[in-house]
Amino acid sequence: MSTTFVLLPGAGSDSWYWHLVAPRLRAEGYEVLTPDLPWTDDTAGLAEYTDVVVEAIGGRRNVVIVAQSMSGFVAPMVCERVPVGLLVLVAAMTPKPGESPGEWWGATGQERAQREQADRDGRTVDFDPRELFFHDVPADVTAQAFERGERSPSDTPFEKPWPLAAWPDVPTRFLLCRDDRLFPADFQRRVVRERLGIVPDEMDGGHLPALARPQELTRRLLDYVRSG
């Protein structure tokens, strides 16, 4: 049975985020789905995002879900509805039952962690997307991203609690990025240990590895699948 990669983008992003990774996976013989989630739709929340992914998967059985950033809230919900062989969280938010995405930031201590990391780096914590997200993304890819325009996510998905009673019974790997300025490495190590009970794998780079380091990210994903 062939393996299908289902690549989920972070909040406000879309399938373009995976445009440097998806072709590499396909070149290795894998089917790849990159569904666009309705981040900007004020009528849509986590349940509707999950519906989009489940519909895209259809009847496929041997599925690997890769979830970037806020899609860490969506991917486990998909796992409850379709057969998933592996869940890979990349620079992701890790929810716990009853916690909304809006509550996650305070509950995990993200703001303090981001501020302390910025102090150590000698940076400000002003919201500058280029400095926060694109600091290690090649200039030409960054230019393409900004030419595509901003897609500000709706507030709707941040309001309702994550509905699962527990993490799904699916093999799960977490890949953190050591130079992530939004979710610093020490922060992620702690949150993943506390909430998933696992030790995350690590790679260099910032919050957007599919744009900054697509070759390495692809290799990591292939290694996960090929190692069983």
pLDDT on residue 64: 98
Mean pLDDT, residues 150-178 taken together: 94
Q: Is the pLDDT of residue 186 over 90?
A: yes
pLDDT on residue 224: 97
Work out the angle at residue 63's Cα, subtended by the Cα atoms of residues 62 and 66, and round it to the nearest 5 degrees: 155
pTM equals 0.96
pLDDT per position as a tens digit, 33-74: 999 999 999 999 999 999 999 999 999 999 999 999 999 999
Q: Which two tokens stand for residue 221?
A: 């994903």
Looking up tokens 């994903």 gives 221
Average pLDDT, rounded, for the chain:
96
Distance, in Å, from the CA atom of 60 to the CA atom of 82, rounded to the nearest integer, reads: 8
pLDDT on residue 1: 59
Q: Which two tokens stand for residue 175?
A: 């890949």
Mean pLDDT, residues 164-172 taken together: 97
Q: In terms of CATH, what superfamily is 4-226?
A: Alpha/Beta hydrolase fold, catalytic domain (3.40.50.1820)
Count other Cβ atoms within 10 Å, centred on residue 79.
22
The residues facing 7 across adjacent strands are: 66
For 25, residues 6+ apart whose C-beta sits below 8 A from its C-beta are: 5, 32, 218, 221, 222
